[in-house]
Structure 1
């Protein structure tokens, strides 16, 4: 595993990378409160299959830029710019967890030609999630932390509480949480701006969630969710298949909570590879594929 430096749209990004330099690019996006290191077990497994795996520190997480804005539109543009930098001639495979999943959904809405196929984990399509907050009081209660993070920071005890609540069967990795805590502190809580940038019904951005065509995804999508997820329940994804006009599959993983990439790395990597090889076989097998014009 190496650390690489990238510069896109005149902003610095750092990333972990592994796998053959000439392999198809798999871009892996982390969530909150997390770092790209949580993708390491999956990256190692995909690299053995020939993928060039790159997991950046997202905007707001040093050593990547901590400058805003932090709305999903900007974050999706970051992901697409990184994809262009890493794979200028061919589409990429995009994998996102938590906020990384939300970014992946948005990137797929904006530029399906840049993404050969995608995996999202633990956070459903934004429209499906918004509907679940209205439909399911339990999910609304689970999501109360989003409001809390809009007005205050989170300390080490808070990090551990979230990890234990969200993945009941996972012992939070101490060294990883040390790194998360240090990163959030160094960034001056820039990562919390994600929550403060969530669009409200009074803002024009909300039209994106109402306009079905703008919210439609036309990229092959694999969605994974842990049965024991204490952050977002599997039921929150109900109906999202109607927002995907491309091959779509949803799988619920028993014995897993929110942090699937750490709890079930074999299953996540295997399902991702099989899905990619099914719906983008030439690219997944390392054959030359160029972007559609």
Structure 2
């Protein structure tokens, strides 16, 4: 594990593979951590890639540099963190791959700063940029009930539940979101230690309240948030990986997302896989990154 100051964070990250390799930044989601990419990074490193796998804000050893920085989990903050990490590591361009929160950061960077993105692998949701002005437009009841945890987090009861029962709650989400993944107690515990970060609860709660317009965002990211209200197109080559058994973001939720991509785009449903795509199917996830690299080779 390595650490680097980037933006408002001291970022903890894994750096796997040759320094001269094609950079691939692998971004985890909620409630997961860098262990999602243990196998993916080995596969890619053996193919000559340099894999950067950071703990997101509020997770694991990653820390805010100042106690005055708002513990924001909004999408603009995640994108800012990703761009800041690339600058700090002096990586001018990379393949970005992620799912859930990490997929959102990757999609935003691909849409707003395409010169920094060689290609994109988006897991779980193809176009993973929140449309916050439309947050109160209801989805189908079939989809609404999948998001019970988000509505729970809107309440102080939910905040207290996450604070007091974070291990039981996050394990339940793993089970609901990946019903066909038989993960071990050890596998879960390796990741759940990351939720002991003192800023985990505040960052998570802010994320799920901000996306519904229930709380203000950090003014530092307001320019990014304004740009995202236009739902900008993604112009870099992209592959979307959708888990057939995803219990929170089933493939049907990505129907029609192809209109948000220009250039090469392909959406693939992975059978027998739930929400945690890279950990459940590391071969398929790594293969998509390798394909993007081949398609964009100078």
- For this structure pair, what is the TM-score category when the shorter chain's length is used for normalisation? 0.7 to 0.9
Q: Does 1:103 align with 2:114?
A: no
Q: Does 1:244 align with 2:261?
A: yes
> Hey, what's the Cα distance between the residues in 2 that align with 1:248 and 1:201?
34
Stretches of structure 2 that go unaligned for 5 or more consecutive residues are: none
Give the structure 1 partner of residue 143 of structure 2.
139
Give unpaired runs (5+ residues) of structure 1: 283-293
Q: Does 1:175 align with 2:178?
A: no
Residues 26 and 54 in structure 2, CA contact (< 8 A), matched pair in contact too: yes
Check whether the contact 1:143–1:232 (CA below 8 A) recurs between aligned residues.
Answer: no
TM-score (norm 2): 0.84
Question: What is the RMSD computed on CA atoms of the aligned residues?
Answer: 2.5
Aligned residues: 276
In structure 2, relative to structure 1, the CA distance for the partners of 1:186 and 1:250 (3 Å cut) is: same
Structure 1, 263-272 or 147-156: larger mean CA deviation = 147-156
Residue 55 of structure 1: SS of its match in structure 2? strand
2:195 alignment partner, SS class:
helix
Please state how far the C-alpha of 1:232 moved relative to its aligned partner: 0.9
Partners of 2:257 and 2:193 lie apart in 1 by 36
1:65 matched to which residue of 2?
A: 63
**Cα distance in 2 between the residues matched to 1:14 and 1:5:** 5
| 1:86 aligned partner | 89
Q: CA deviation at 1:85?
A: 2.6
Whether the 8 Å CA contact 2:73–2:207 is kept in 1: the answer is: yes
TM-score (norm 1): 0.85
How is 1:177-196 mapped onto 2 (pairs within 5 angstroms)? 177-188=188-199, 189-192=201-204, 193-196=206-209
Tell me, in whole angstroms, the C-alpha distance in 1 between the residues paired with 2:229 and 2:214: 10
Kept in 1: contact 2:120–2:239 (CA 8 A): yes
- 1 CA distance for matches of 2:142 and 2:292? 32
- Whether 1:197 aligns to 2:200 is no
